[in-house]
Amino acid sequence: MHDEPIMDVAHLGHLEIFTPKPEESLRFFVDVMGMTESGRKGDSVYLRAWDDYERYSLQLTASKTSGLGHAAFRARSPQALQRRVKALEGSGYGIGWHEGELGHGPGYRFPDPDDHVIELYYETEWYEPPPELRPSLKNQAQRYPARGVGVRRLDHFNCLAVDVKANREFFERYLGFRNTERIVLNDGTEAGMWLTCTNKSYDFAYTREAHGVKGRFHHVTYALDSREAILQAADIFLENGVYIETGPHKHAVQQTFFLYVYEPGGNRVEVANAGARLVLAPDWKPILWTEEERKKGQAWGLKTIESFHTHGTPPLPDQHRSEDDEGSIAGVDDLSEKGIAS
């Protein structure tokens, strides 16, 4: 009889994103994305979508550059947290406990094999809306703010990784994530992998970093309730001068209906809808996509835009930038020059 699945991680809790343009990034997330500020501490502003049950799902931190601060998952129970910490300590990857963060209890931090900082915590602060943000229906975390895109909840994130397979195996082994789909190139290496700890078909994804630079970030995604809401978002981004990179369209991988933009700090942000798709099978067998299949583009034939393979945050150090990359891996200043960032 095979081993039983590890069910210790409950869900993605929040992301910390660095921005070199904190005020403009904040305006983007509040005014355009329609999120609500729910705290400030040090260089960070904490933000939430209206259906996030915890106090926040995004920690926006002023920084010299862009990229991922850390990604945090909530454990299923105090015991589950202890089990994962023990496993991580045994893996040689553990960093240690991090305390005093806004909104949740002690978090255990560790790097993945690509040096992104990941955090695991259990104790958390449930969001208590002030009177003017109390919802009409008591089974909802916060009043729906009919402002901008009006994102519902944090959905997933995507990092770049030099060695995708090593990261997949790390998260499978030590944290119990399940791999639902992956891209395997003709040379046998992996170019992308999607992992879940819930019934969503993925809670995060890692795709290949083409320049050999570790720790880079690809995008954060917020969920909307319908594909129509994604189309409305496209108009809202257009009207607000937000650079739309690609979409709306449907991914072949995971079938997500997607729309990618760059926030003013340079980080890629996605709004997405999965319809009623869930992965309910406890023994789901990973879908393997070949190099040839991926060349066909997205579900309805849209060719994958070049910058999608190259743009990440923070921007690449100069020695890693080729002429070809210049447009697509543009940092914030470059975007401004091109008039594609506000």
* Residue that the structure tokens 């893996």 belong to: 91
| 204, 156 contact by CB (below 8 A) | yes
Tell me which stretch binds its own copies (CB under 8 A): 37-45, 64-72, 113-121, 249-257.
249-257
Using the minimum distance from each CB to its own copies, give the nearer residue, 1 or 188: 1
Out of 64, 100, 187, 280, the only residue in the binding site for its own copies (CB under 8 A) is: 280
Q: Shortest distance, CB of residue 159 to its own copies, whole angstroms?
A: 20
> Site for its own copies (CB under 8 A): which residue of 101, 114, 119, 181?
181
Residue 30 is a binding residue for its own copies (CB under 8 A)? no
**For the CA atoms of the chain, what is the radius of gyration?**
19
Distance from first CA to last CA of the chain, Å, rounded?
57
Could you say whether residue 249 binds its own copies (CB under 8 A)? yes
Question: Is 130 near its own copies (CB under 8 A)?
Answer: no
CB of 319 to its own copies, least distance (A): 31
Nearer to its own copies, 65 or 255 (CB): 255
CB of 20 to its own copies, least distance (A): 24
Of 17, 11, 20, 64, residue with least CA distance to 268: 17
Under the binding rule (CB under 8 A), the answer on residue 155 touching its own copies is yes
β 257-262/268-273 pair status: antiparallel
Contacts of 19 (CB under 8 A, 6+ apart): 25, 60, 61, 62, 63, 66, 263, 264, 265, 266, 267
Q: By CB under 8 A, how many residues form the interface with its own copies?
A: 84
DSSP classification of residue 103: T
- Beta-strand runs (E) in 29-136: 36-41, 44-48, 58-62, 67-75, 96-98, 107-111, 117-121
320 binds its own copies (CB under 8 A): no
Among 273, 307, 310, 313, binds its own copies (CB under 8 A): 273
- Does 152 bind its own copies (CB under 8 A)? Our answer is yes
Binding status of residue 136 toward its own copies by CB under 8 A: yes
| Interface of this chain with its own copies, residues 56 to 115, rule: CB under 8 A | 74-80
The reply on whether position 241 binds its own copies by CB under 8 A is yes
Q: Give yes or no for residue 147 binding its own copies (CB under 8 A).
A: yes
185 touching its own copies, by CB under 8 A: no
Judge whether 16 and 68 are in contact, CB under 8 Å: yes
Is residue 228 close enough to count as binding its own copies by CB under 8 A? yes
From the list 58, 32, 30, the residue with the least C-alpha distance to 44 is 58
Does 4 bind its own copies (CB under 8 A)? Our answer is yes
Residue whose C-alpha is closest to residue 20's, from 331, 339, 258? 331
Q: Is 27 in the site for its own copies (CB under 8 A)?
A: no
Residues 298-317 that bind its own copies (CB under 8 A): 299-302
Conformation bin of residue 90: beta by default, left when phi > 0, alpha when psi is -120 to 50: alpha
Q: What stretch of H or E contains 11?
A: strand 9-19
Q: Choose which of 16, 51, 114, 325 interacts with its own copies (CB under 8 A).
A: 51
Q: Tell me if 149 contacts its own copies by CB under 8 A.
A: yes
